[in-house]
Amino acid sequence: MTSSTSSTVSPATGKRALSSPATATGPAHATSAAAPTGEPTREHWMDLLRGTAILLVIAHHLRLVQQIWDGGTPWAMVELSEALAPFRMPALLFASGLLLARSLRRPPGRFLAGKLRGLLWPWLLWSAVMLPILGWGHADEPLWWLNGMYTWFLAALFCYYVIGLVTRRIHPAWVALASVVAWTALPLLGIAHDLVGPRPDKFVFYAVFFFAGAALRPVLARRPVPWAVTVPALAVAAAWALHAARFDAEPQVPVLTQVVVLLAVVGVVGVLQRLPRLHALRPVEWLGHNSIVPYLVHLPVIELLGRHSDLPAGPGTFALYYAVTIGVCVLAVLLRPVTGFLYAFPARKAAAAAGEAVSQAVEPFVDRAVDAMPAAGAAPVGEAAPARTRR
């Protein structure tokens, strides 16, 4: 996030920038039965991956905002945030790429219309929501709209889906490899890597994770990641996380960074595929299934808490802010049937269905209120009033 008074870490980019003051009895397997439509079912580990990444993103942004406005944040959260910085967004993009093949089953027109409604619309709307919070001066900065706020994720997803449509006859593994080559080639062309500034370089960097998810989806649907891959991958991830925490920055080594982080995400998937469906994990799955809502809602809430509350910085305040933010996100998900236009541009049928749902919910209360009101020409007190006929 960028503003005008001090130099700190940006919640929007996770980098240094200018900023202002039902229970299963056994392990779940990755195999999936075909749905009646012929599409594979959505495995619970996919939502667990997405939900876990969302919770980590919220904690990370809260840590950054608390540093900006309260002057400090718990040391443990700083270290944890830095250690997990290389993996949060790659995990989200990997989870999104897992659904590319299913989306491409739609006709191209419907595919593009759905992405325009579900990605570009909330990208534009929620970027605008942040303007009064961060400053109206950003309104005339084209690159700020594209890559200056946390909504860059939606713009990047839209680009990846369009690329996926155009290259649908090419195996997504080749597209993932092309993103590695393109990212590595930038310095060779005299263009320094820039994940901090307004240039959308991160669109190239993160593409490997989206298309790797699309490439690995058929394999992960057939069987869990073997332990022979999972265990070494987690060991490499732990070493990479310690390195990131030690240097207070994400390691940026061409090719190696993308490969190591991708391997780490695959290792985490191997663990999640084997987790039983415990009741304690259902809320995380639920958040992951509705991930677009908490992703868009959380940062405005955190910014408002950080700017307008006077609680002293510390673990207690951090825990309180985190609980409040999660609570607001949960409420936003529950309200989504009525506020769906905040997350996808309403199609005519969707708008009509939402209007009918609101009408059915409100009509009983309106009827009671009308019944309680005296009818026009009501009889004086003490005289019998004519019976009111309900429609």
Angle at 262 between CA 187 and CA 206, to 5 degrees: 50
CB 303 within 8 A of CB 133: yes
Average pLDDT score over the chain? 81
Residue 376 confidence (pLDDT) above 80: no
pLDDT for 193: 74
How many C-beta neighbours within 10 Å does residue 219 have? 10
Q: Which residues neighbour 371 within 8 Å (Cβ) at sequence distance 6 or greater?
A: 388, 390
pLDDT for 140: 87
CB 64 within 8 A of CB 8: yes
Residue 115 confidence (pLDDT) above 90: yes
For residue 12, the surrounding DSSP H or E stretch is none
DSSP-assigned beta bridge partners for residue 40: 34
Residue 125 confidence (pLDDT) above 90: yes
The CA distance from 76 to 322, in Å, is 15
Q: Which residues neighbour 251 within 8 Å (Cβ) at sequence distance 6 or greater?
A: 86, 240, 243, 244, 257
pLDDT for 214: 98
- Nearest Cα residue to 371 out of 361, 380, 363: 363
**Unique residue bearing structure tokens 């199609």:** 347
More confident: 349 or 295: 295
For residue 2, the surrounding DSSP H or E stretch is none
Please report how many Cα atoms fall inside a 13 Å half-sphere around the Cα of residue 126, on the Cβ side. 31
Task: Report the percent of the chain where pLDDT is more than 70.
Answer: 76
Position 195, amino acid = L
Mean pLDDT is highest, among 245-254, 347-356, 373-382, for 245-254
pTM > 0.95 = no
Q: Give the single-character DSSP code of 280.
A: G
- Nearest Cα residue to 306 out of 137, 134, 79, 145: 134
pLDDT for 36: 41
The encoded tokens of residue 320 equal 């309180």
Q: What's the residue count for the chain?
A: 391
Residue 388 confidence (pLDDT) above 80: no
Q: What DSSP letter does each residue of 302-314 carry, written as one string?
A: HHHHHHH--PPSS
Q: For 262-272, what is the mean pLDDT?
A: 97
pLDDT in tens, 38-69: 344 568 999 999 999 999 999 999 998 888 77
pLDDT in tens, 174-196: 999 999 999 888 888 877 777 66
For residue 16, the surrounding DSSP H or E stretch is strand 16-19
